[in-house]
Structure 1
């Protein structure tokens, strides 16, 4: 059932997020709920059904991930061609292209690039955000991606659900978040993104 009210605790109590929290309990690296569930955590309600829970992990911390899931096999999926193969710990993974999944469960592990104290957007490797600014924390302590970063990931896909996520998140952005996101919605030299005018209208 979709919760139409605003109750952050009920979002955190959703079975897929509880499972994600259980799987990453004790993980020594950084991790964030991403995608549509991050929108729900920010908005404070479960707005629609989700096929999985996206969890972002830094690619440079893949050894910590391998150690954390040492007793559970992980599968690599190439998001460009759909090819799947077992992950061999220590094998480098390409942020933005390759993801990991467990044999069973709702979690899809995405990889983010980083440089020192900055997260680096995998598309073009020019956009940066301090890691400390990347992180929001739910009332129950669950880490999730800051909304302007969630929208940056979604801006290039053009799916109806991404437009709906933008409509729900845009009114909640601070002026600083809007100023950071607006010039990054479209690639350099491309026409203005459809969200640009709507972003400044909020």
Structure 2
């Protein structure tokens, strides 16, 4: 589990190492909402593909030495001895957005990050519409439905039918 301090520490670490990163996934939803809405098992980060080694080395030095899932070039999940997990999503591009290579040969476009808030601090994060697009193509869990409902209530982002509340 990661808390707000952990997230900010990781973002500071990557910035100091010269690696751009923006928050995605559950923490990204919370950043857009501006408050922590639930516990988070991991921290999803979009990173630039050409800075992946820098990011990985910095995180390794900080104790994230366990490779949990190596699905490169799509994703790399690493963890530390405290059970904290970081899921890196490399994109080919720049801090203005990029393309993530998917396992089926397709690409997923991440636009430039927007600004969210974690722990009272402004952080770069994935925009609301892209958060919704990241939640398509699979059967949503209760956690996914709750995240999307909170995101919709906070930002007004349009949700697909799979995420619309049932009457």
* TM beyond 0.5: yes
Once residues 127 and 47 of structure 1 are traced to their aligned partners in structure 2, the CA distance between those partners, rounded to angstroms, is 27
Structure with the higher fraction of residues in strand conformation: 2
Whether 1:28 aligns to 2:14 is: no
Match of 2:36 among 46, 60, 63: 46
**Residue-pair matches, total:** 155
Once residues 27 and 145 of structure 1 are traced to their aligned partners in structure 2, the CA distance between those partners, rounded to angstroms, is 21
Which protein, 1 or 2, shows the higher relative CO under an 8 Å CA cutoff with sep ≥ 6?
Answer: 2
Once residues 43 and 11 of structure 2 are traced to their aligned partners in structure 1, the CA distance between those partners, rounded to angstroms, is 11
Match of 1:194 among 151, 162, 165: 162
Alignment map for 1:53-64 (pairs within 5 Å): 53-64=43-54
- Structure 1 gaps, min length 5: 1-12, 81-92, 186-192
Which segment drifts farther, 31-40 or 116-125?
116-125
Q: CA 1:27–1:141 in structure 2 vs 1: closer, same or farther (change >3 Å)?
A: farther
1:147, distance to aligned residue in structure 2 (A): 1.9
Once residues 160 and 15 of structure 1 are traced to their aligned partners in structure 2, the CA distance between those partners, rounded to angstroms, is 26
For residues 134-183 of structure 1, what are the alpha-carbon distances to aligned partners after superposition, in whole Å with 9 as ceiling and x for unaligned? 33243623222212222222223411110111111124146xxx5xxx7x
Once residues 141 and 45 of structure 1 are traced to their aligned partners in structure 2, the CA distance between those partners, rounded to angstroms, is 12
Match of 1:135 among 114, 136, 139: 114
Q: CA 1:60–1:104 in structure 2 vs 1: closer, same or farther (change >3 Å)?
A: farther
With structure 2 as the length reference, what TM-score do the two structures score? 0.70
Q: CA 1:61–1:36 in structure 2 vs 1: closer, same or farther (change >3 Å)?
A: same
Match of 2:4 among 9, 14, 30: 14
Whether 1:151 aligns to 2:132 is: yes
8 Å CA contact 2:32–2:116 kept in 1: the answer is no
For residues 62-106 of structure 1, what are the alpha-carbon distances to aligned partners after superposition, in whole Å with 9 as ceiling and x for unaligned? 2222453463463322278xxxxxxxxxxxx3214x322334463
Once residues 4 and 56 of structure 2 are traced to their aligned partners in structure 1, the CA distance between those partners, rounded to angstroms, is 26
Whether 1:119 aligns to 2:122 is: no
Larger radius of gyration: 1
With structure 1 as the length reference, what TM-score do the two structures score? 0.60
